Amino acid sequence: MITIELTQGGHKWRKKNLMTIFKGRKHFDILRCEVCGIEGKTNSIATISIKETYNRNKVYNCRGKHEIAKKIKIIKCTAYGETFANLIPNSTHDVIEAPNGYSNDTMGVWVQGVGEPVKVLSYEYEEIN
């Protein structure tokens, strides 16, 4: 088994089973990457174990890692303040380069707010291709 962190490799993990699976004293969830299709088991919030039958290159380098949206459409913005005034529902925004020390990732992307860059969380927008 190959054990990696859930944030490693650029995968977009989704839980495959409806409820946590219990076998004796062990419990786990089965996760599947939406982009490349590999599956693994996890019993924590930080790591996943993947069978060694998968190509190691696929495990460590999912093509989803490089697919950050160029434009987004706001669904709702839960942040408040003058900086977020332009993030209204159905408005479109270009994704910009993240400020130093931050990144555009599966948790959210950076767009230009009023006067400074702001991060929009993944559940607050949909990607436009």
pTM above 0.75, yes or no: no
Question: Are 76 and 35 part of one and the same domain?
Answer: no
Say if residues 94 and 118 touch (Cβ distance below 8 Å). Answer: no
Same domain, 55 and 79: no
Identify the burial level of 2 via C-beta atoms within 10 angstroms of its C-beta, where 0-12 means exposed, 13-18 middle and 19 or more buried.
Answer: middle
Residues 55, 86: one domain?
no
| pLDDT number for residue 8 | 75
Do 75 and 111 lie in a common domain? yes
Domain end: 46, 65, 84, which one? 65
CATH number of the domain within which 95 lies: 2.30.30.40
- Give SS3 for 97: coil
7/50 same-domain check: yes
Mean pLDDT per block of 10 residues along the chain (129 residues) reads: 79 85 90 86 85 78 66 90 93 91 81 93 85
Whether residue 60 sits in one domain with residue 7 = yes
List 128's β-bridge partners, or say none: 71
Among candidate residues 18, 40, 65, the one where a domain is terminated = 65
Give the total number of structural domains in the chain: 2
57 & 74 share domain: no
> Rounded to whole angstroms, how far apart are CA atoms 99 and 103?
7
Statement to judge: residues 9 and 49 lie in one domain:
yes
The pLDDT assigned to 73 comes to 93
| Structural domain span for residue 84 | 68-128
